[in-house]
Structure 1
Amino acid sequence: MSTATVPHPLDAAGLSARFAESFGATPDGVWQAPGRVNLIGEHTDYNDGFVLPFAIDKTARVAVRVRSDSTVRLLSTFGDQGITTTDLTTLKPGTAKGWTKYPLGVLWSLQQRGIKVPGIDLILDSSVPLGAGLSSSHAIECAVVSALNELTGAGMSDEDMVLATQKAENDFVGAPTGIMDQSASLRGAKGHAVFLDCRDQHVELVPFEAEPAGLVMLVIDTKVSHSHADGGYAARRESCELGAQVMGVPALRDVSVSDLTEASGLLDELTFRRVRHVVTENDRVLATVELLSTAGPAAIGPLLDASHVSMRDDFEISCPELDLAVDTARSAGAIGARMTGGGFGGAAIALTPVEKERQVRDAVLKAFARAGLTTPDIFTVTPAQGALRLL
């Protein structure tokens, strides 16, 4: 996907008008779903572990109209591809390209669940930076599944929609992701992070508001595009599965920090480091939840820092640009910083005192310029409401 962003997203009325202009009829409705920032808990989700993401105030919006035939017509406000036409009866994995694989993947996944899916006309608009590790693809999928759940009368719960979009991502798009991103997008709430147990989908909303604590959450989009559907992500997942198998447990969720000494004697050095990241990251998620519930956001900085070190050294999913963003932000006054998302590019987050925000922004921009790197996008995010119907 392109790293271009939509700087001024359309509101619901504007998107409805664009739909009418493009398709010659008004849509049945407009739905939106947010991107997400993962506060902490990286690559723990597919290990049945714990994660702590939050929905952000940047969203994907879709205007949708049900058709009377099996034709699917898709259009986006970014790029110049024009309308893409597909027939539902020929929908199968590997046939879609670009952004269209996300809505088509949802349609296919719902078909696999036995839901009678109609043809649709759909237009997409998004303010979630693409390729930045903020889950722009899942925002699209969650907006689409929310729309189709309502338009088909399927009656799926949030948990059902999470699994439907995971199947779309895994089996149609070809990315072996867990359930964190969809859960944050569908189940997020304003002013809260989503504490998710990936084994049973149990969710607790944990208060997380930076501003009352005199802090802002900065996102530093390095502009290094990443893709989950590549070998790096899959290789990490395979290492985790091997580690669990050797340790004789269903998933790395069942390995504790105290088990790591035994693990070091059973696993090869590379697999052990992969396992150590997941086990200690689960521990950091639980510690972060506890601190947010007691001491507040200002106390979690060291856990964010430790998470980045673990991802950089043990899981090896960082990159020079992410490390530069994190190290520079910390040196310039952030109380904690880490890469966020699947890795190999994307964005870092920096929890920063309000009075240091300009200092951190300037320092990161100068560091990237000195290194001859693409200028990063730096912006703030706040925990926002999950998927909903707008119109």
Structure 2
Amino acid sequence: MAPLIQEALADTPVVLLNGPRQAGKSTLAATYGDRGFRMLSLDDAATLASAREDPTGLVRSLDRAVIDEVQRAPELLLAIKQSVDNDRRPGRFLLTGSADLRLLPSVADSLAGRMEVLTLLPLAGCELDGAAGQWLECVFSGDIPMLPSGNRAIETGEALVERVLRGGYPEAVARSTVRRREAWLRQYAAALLSRDVRDIASIEKLEQMPRLLRALAQMAGQLTNLNPLAGQLLLDHKTAAKYVGVLEQLFLIRRIQPWGSNRLARIVKSPKLHFLDSGLLSHLRGADAVALKRDRTAFGPLLECYVVSELLKLASWSERDLQVLSYRDKDQREVDVVIENAAGQLIGVEIKAKASVQPRDFAGLHKLAELSGDQFIAGLVLYDGNETLPMGHGLWAVPLATLWRL
């Protein structure tokens, strides 16, 4: 992510680095304190009061600055716009935000044409393993991922379960025991729901947010249907939708939109609900290695969350303009992930929590290939094995471990 920030600062007045709390934004932004940037954090009470009471005066005093947690004082954005319009030098402001400013109704101006937005999600598997993160580049270039001969038979079975349960938040990953990781995740979720929600939205029934988050955890990987959820929490549909939107703005969840085609009239248009960190999802579902060993079917939604999150991370720093989508039609044929580039070319990814694949595992990919025609690059079934195997007609069985080893 650091090279992307530096590239953006070289030709853009304002760069926003957003993403969930504790993903490493502040640590990364702090490195600019030695490069002539003044460092301001809106987690500091006095700085926050100044930003809210006199945003124009505060910004007027700045030449080049890092402003951390800018979502706490969205009033600053209009003042920054005015400052930038008077002085269009590139690299004037590096902002960080733990809420998606583009989705906040309190933001008065998007700074269109003046600001580049980058998203930093929790650590990807390739970052933890020191790999280059070239999985998507490889597939879109027509090279099917495979493990080097020296990397066979790694991180399958129980080791794969542990990777998924660990997730990617740096603080959680660094914890030495499962108990300590669980303690961090519990307090992380509680802090977000008690403080950050108040920062970005007016929530009348704040006490319902923990229940809502846990209920959504049970829906992970499924189509978003808020009607039964609203009834379960004694909320009307509009209020439930607002609360879900707040959790999405905080980068806890992501609704993955459906892929569409002019040749497809029977597409299911509801988005799929995913959590952006499999460790947090596992915590909310009460999953652990012992329980998953006893009931392997419970691992499927967690693994799907992990892979979708990994693909979102890889797409976020790709030089290609990529959309992460899903596919499902009314005949119940589906593909877990469809990744489409700006030219409309696409790959399909199915996720299987098993050590072998069957022809039926490729049914949705066959349909996707038929609908997309020449735009279809490849269809991959990611599975808990270590061999890349051709399955005919641009379809492949590919080890899950290639995601973090390339």
* TM-score normalized by the length of structure 2: 0.29
Greater strand fraction, Structure 1 or Structure 2:
1
> Which of 1 and 2 has higher RCO (CA within 8 Å, sep 6+)?
1
Which has the higher Rg, Structure 1 or Structure 2? 2
